[in-house]
Amino acid sequence: MEKRSLLLNKYYWGVVVPQSSEALIYAGWERERFAHPDLVHKFWKTLLGIPSTADLSNKKFLEFVEDIKRIAASYLMHYIPDPNEDLSEEIISGY
């Protein structure tokens, strides 16, 4: 079975986990519950019914990530950027 790529893993832990943590806290969840990235990861696994992400293929792991991004956008009103997405131009043009 193909394991997920290091780049996808880096995106998850470097963007998705911290961004979703910030969104959950802003939405009123207890800060202590999401104080550490491992707690955020466990929350998403539990919510989405994934016992372990360690053996997920790139495709399945990407589905997991997209589910998190969808929940963040729909229920937490928080946009999580795609990998390599440059938001600086959008931010600057908004002024």
Quick one: pLDDT at residue 93?
Answer: 45
Domain residue ranges in the chain:
6-82
Per-residue pLDDT of the chain (95 residues; tens, 9 = 90+): 566 788 999 999 999 999 999 999 999 999 999 989 999 999 999 999 999 999 899 999 999 999 999 999 999 999 999 988 766 555 444 44
H-only helix segments in 1-95? 6-11, 17-26, 37-48, 58-75, 88-93
Predicted TM-score (pTM) of the model is 0.86
Angle at 82 (CA atoms; ends 16, 21), nearest 5 degrees: 20
